[in-house]
Amino acid sequence: MNKPKNQKGISKYIKLEDYKVFDYEIPEIFMDFVINKNAVNVTTKLKLVKKNKNTKNLILDGTDILIKKLFIDDSLIEKQYYKQQKNNLKIENIKKDIFLLKIEGIIKPKENTSLLGMYESNGIITTQCEAEGFRRISFHADRPDILSKYTVRIEADKNDYPVLLSNGNVLKENNLTNNRHEIIWEDPYPKPSYLFALVAGKLNCVKDNFITKSNKKVKINIYVEYGDEKYVQHAISSLKKSMKWDEDKYNLEYDLSLFNIVAIRHFNMGAMENKSLNIFNSKLILANSETTTDEELERIEGVIAHEYFHNWTGNRVTCRDWFQLSLKEGLTVFRDQQFTADVHNSEIKRLDDAKFLRRNQFREDSGPTSHPVMPEKYQEIDNFYTTTIYEKGSEIIRMLNKLVKDENFYKGFSNYISTYDGKAATIDQFVDKILEHNKEIDPKKFKIWYKQNGTPKVKFKRIWDQTDEKLTIEASQSNPIKKNLYNDLPLIIPINLAIFCDENKTIEKTVVLKTKKQEFVFRNIRSHLQIPLVTYFREFSSPVEWESDTTFEEKFLILRYEKDFFTLSNTVKVFYKKIILCRLDEKPDHKIENKFISTLISFIKNRDINLSLLSELLSIPTFAEIESEMENLDPLKIYKTIDELNHLFGTKLKEELYFKLQEIETSLDKVWPEGKNERKLIETIWKLLLHSDDEEIKSKIINYVDSNSMTLAKAALNSFSRINCPERKIISNIFFNKWKNNSVVLDSWFSFNASIEIDEKTNSIEKLFENTYFDSKSPNTLRAILNTFVTRNSTFHAIDGSGYKYIAKKIIDFDKLNPIVISRFIKVFSRYNYYSEPYKSNMLETIKQIKKNKLSTNTKEVLDAIIE
């Protein structure tokens, strides 16, 4: 594949159209790691089989590796026959078709601060090879379509590195002289280099096991730093649930007798699915109800499932090239979402997933960093680990499942796995397998979903013929982004709809929009309404935005008639947006506000309503939610309006909220997952009551900060975020003093304090970076402060631009330390064009100032996209 060129070169992009098969196969690799105090000697033996008989050269990727010697079949390669450049190694005049290349090299993990490749942090050596980290460990054709069987020997001092882990099964362990020891690992399944993993250090192991459906015993080991052993039972339980679920749902059984997980604090990703050696950010392993919220417990369960499910969708079948990234990630997100829906409440899970996608992916799709699920080009693949690749990719598969029905979907999935097991596949091949026996859906037309960027828009209009009892729905589709040629082509869009003839008669249908304009005709519709009421995209059946001719009076009827959680939540959101827009225009619509408040009261009084759903319905949109959907934004005015509405609704709903509070308080002590709905709702109630200037509730909430439930403790913390009162400082101190020695939990304290507006300047935020407990190498802590400050603190949008300038300094400083975190964070500026003045100009000036500095390639690529 072509590599990015420098400024004098022809192209700085890697392009999908340039893909070609590598000249060699590498069926077997042996790696020998000798870990010394300041360096690691790495000897790699690659068995190479020439596929392109016309080539005599071999080019391998490699960065920051000192070459000692090179051999071909034990013959030393003289220096004039190879050339080492900054990022590759070229060996010339190779005449053999099959040969063994031996590379003796040295790397220095202690000097590697990138958290990519092999690095040492807190005395633990760890690897992160996805996407292109392996080239920092050894020279290799570091691309996902090269699958090899690995044998790995690791040698180290027993005191410094008592635990030595890699992929697969243990072949041999030995004690050596000079207090050293060795271990040899063999992975029997071919894998790409990005799935290689090695961990060495002082770790404690918590053991368990799982019996597969074929009665095979799988040893489960979770390795953590000393003192963290008591926090792993939730992770073990989650892993076992996912192993059992994958057997039951997809007939996929774990294929080895050992499954290892390692929890590391200094780890950029949430987790990594390395074959049989999953490496996790500690935050997504160490958990119990005292240290972890209900929401986080569910997320951890889902992430552990996600990484386990990769064993088949990503590891056994991998992606041919990085343009196919969603083949493994979108598909595995779809599977982990299914898992959580099956284990918990499917309607709430669907609502949560839809909300996340619309808030994050729609925002991404409406800005300059918008890209297709299968991009056509990139500079740094690390920049494409996005909500588009993951969550939108999952939604496309969900639509595919909906279109072909479950039985055909699972049959096609099984054929896909059996056909491409042990191979590198493409998105096209997956879709073809699912649609193999389906004659109604044209695969070529469906695949356009992967090539378009931007969020499609669908418009609906009803035509009602009461005499003939015929309802016609006119539908049309378009894409607001015009740069991509594929965006002009119509998509295949499944639409779940309901036709309400009256309160007691509902017709539910799924129709499929296949052309730019289409009519759907429904006959024998008898309705007492002036025109039958229709709701669209129930269960969020397609990742689109839509407009309809539904009036606001009809929307109130939807809140009476509809049962679908997503549609109820979405309709409520429409009311909130309408109310906020009127207030931003300084023309409050008190009639709609009062009628809407009366509707919310009826929801609160409904004892049968799902309490998580009620929490959603009562939650006034946050700044981040509003910012992703509006234009000509005045951020300070929006923050002020949100505060006003929280005060208004808290005051108007106070009596009903107190009744509900009494009703649910008896369930707050239940053990997760029991009681989670009540605990979710109580934060919403506390927040509204605090905004209503209710003094009585303050002392009551403070009592929960020291709770044995982290959900309640953080609910107490978060509900005070925008309440300027002495109690806010009290709860902050209580939380800090209790958790200051638990770095995972303390990130919540950093986040809370980053949201507080103590004054109009950034002094209070800077104090967080200066805090003794701030760990500059921890991606979690960095994200906790930066992300919260820009999304929940109006000081970021100071009218003089000082908040933007302050964050610019942090971006420049931390880009040197962690470019992956910063390149993702910097997208906060991607919607600058949607802001009013002076915010727009202030943001643009800040972006230009950042660009003047020496930045990582990751961050530079994102900035270039933002202001191209």
As annotated, the active-site residues are 307
Q: Which helix (H) or strand (E) holds 596?
A: helix 590-605
Q: In what order do the strands lie in the sheet with 98-107?
A: 75-76, 66-72, 98-107, 40-50, 24-35, 148-157, 180-191, 169-175
- The alpha-helical segments, DSSP class H, found in 628-667 are 635-652, 654-664
CB contact at 8 A, 185 and 167: yes
Cis peptide bond upstream of 819, omega within 30: no
Residues 6+ apart with CB under 8 A from 109: 40, 118, 119, 120, 125
Q: With CA atoms as reference, report the closest residue to 682 among 727, 620, 618.
A: 618
Residue ranges of E strands in 73-226: 75-76, 82-84, 88-91, 98-107, 117-121, 124-128, 148-157, 163-166, 169-175, 180-191, 198-201, 204-211, 217-224
Running DSSP on this structure, what letter comes out for residue 621?
Answer: P
Q: In what order do the strands lie in the sheet with 82-84?
A: 58-61, 88-91, 82-84
Q: What are the backbone dihedrals phi and psi of residue 425, each rounded to the nearest 5 degrees, phi first?
A: -115, 175
Running DSSP on this structure, what letter comes out for residue 759?
Answer: S
Running DSSP on this structure, what letter comes out for residue 679?
Answer: H
Cβ density class 793-805: b for 16+ within 10 Å, e for less: bbbbbbeebbbbb
CB atoms within 10 A of CB 846: 20
* Per-residue tokens: 687: 């927040």
Q: What are the backbone dihedrals phi and psi of residue 409, each rounded to the nearest 5 degrees, phi first?
A: -65, -50
Q: Which helix (H) or strand (E) holds 443?
A: helix 443-446
Token pair 């669907």 in the structure block, residue: 350
Residues 6+ apart with CB under 8 A from 104: 41, 42, 43, 67, 68, 69, 70
Q: Which helix (H) or strand (E) holds 521?
A: strand 517-522
Measured in whole angstroms, the distance separating CA 86 from the mean position of its chain's CA atoms is: 32
Token pair 């004892």 in the structure block, residue: 607
Write the DSSP assignment of 720-737 as a string of letters.
TTT--SHHHHHHHHHHHH
CB atoms within 10 A of CB 516: 13
CB contact at 8 A, 268 and 818: yes
Between CA 306 and CA 499 the distance in angstroms is 37
